[in-house]
Structure 1
Amino acid sequence: MFERFTKEARFVVIGAQEEARALRHSRIGVEHLLAATAGRPESLGGAALFRLGITPETCREAIRSAAGLDEDDAEALRSLGIDLSAVRARAERSFGPGALDGNGGPDGTDESPSRWRPFRSAKGSRQHHIPFTREAKRALEQSLREALARKENWIGTEHVVLGALALDHPPTVRVLRTLGTDPQTLRADLLAHLRRAA
């Protein structure tokens, strides 16, 4: 399937790993694919995000916001005597930086960073392989279906976005709502633009 990916779409797949790494997440999710696509505004998928005001920075902030507790939750915990910043600091002292930033494993449980498989980058620095979530894999598979439905024999960033939106994945929906849009609006905008470009 990856032989069908355009150069831009391949950059998105690689960029999704970098987005997850930058956010200190243990898995690459659908939301990381969108953040990486937002970083390619010259591509069809990236342009659709850009038209709705979605940039890599705003997407990262929305991912952080959607993954964490909101201020009402934090206030409720404070009223019980639980200081989230103290809990985070203690967890990071015991388990390392970003210990509470897990993105969840395929079975819904957090994966410990100790389970990451290390590899060395071209520069020789120690890094870790970050696996794709089941949903992210499904989004990439759906991108192929989206391309075939449009009778196109390549997978571009537009297909990656359409594949991500087709899943109606709750974390992705939360991220998009935080960004002031929703899957239906983004899909309609992208499809309308593709029709005009054809």
Structure 2
Amino acid sequence: MMKIFKLTACALIVCLLVTGCGNNAELEDNHTVVKTDEGEIKADALYEKLRDKYGISVLVDMIDHQLFDEKYKTDETEEETINAQIEQMKAQYNNDEEAFNAAITQYLGVEDENELRDMLSLEYKRNLAIEDHVQDSIADDEIQKYYDDEIIGDMSVRHILISPDTNDDMTDEEKEAAEEDAKKQAEDLIKQLDDGA
């Protein structure tokens, strides 16, 4: 998701750079945007690359904003979650605003904390939509069946009982010797099983 936002921010920055500050904000198709020793980059080639590379992600974000902002109104839980995430991010930069802003611009492609809040809000609402979809589409009995079949799987359990050969007529020493013999048999059997028998 961070990649999408980086790409969106890059597209926005390039568009702002390309349009400039003059009255004529559009570049003609054959207008040179960048000129280097190796050649030129024309406006139509730039627009084509921007549209192909970033257009879909920008469109998806816009659609998600429209759908999710309507269905999932911002509430106190969302605000608390976003605030906690931002505080955690700021703590990584020792609450240095300048370092924090540079990091979110570089790594997340957002210009300021407000854009970051918007991005985190969209992510939060996307997660709510996913949870709703999963709850609506998967029944509890299906989850239990999957758990029983796949997580636990088929198990075969066997029980081996080794008991000492004792009776009431034996002396304490004989009973103790029989228990030691049974213990030795059990230890030998465990060793065999550990060795792959």
What range is the shorter-chain TM-score in?
under 0.3
Q: Which structure would you say has the larger Rg?
A: 2
Give the TM-score taking structure 1 as reference length: 0.21
Greater percentage in helix: 2
Give the TM-score taking structure 2 as reference length: 0.21
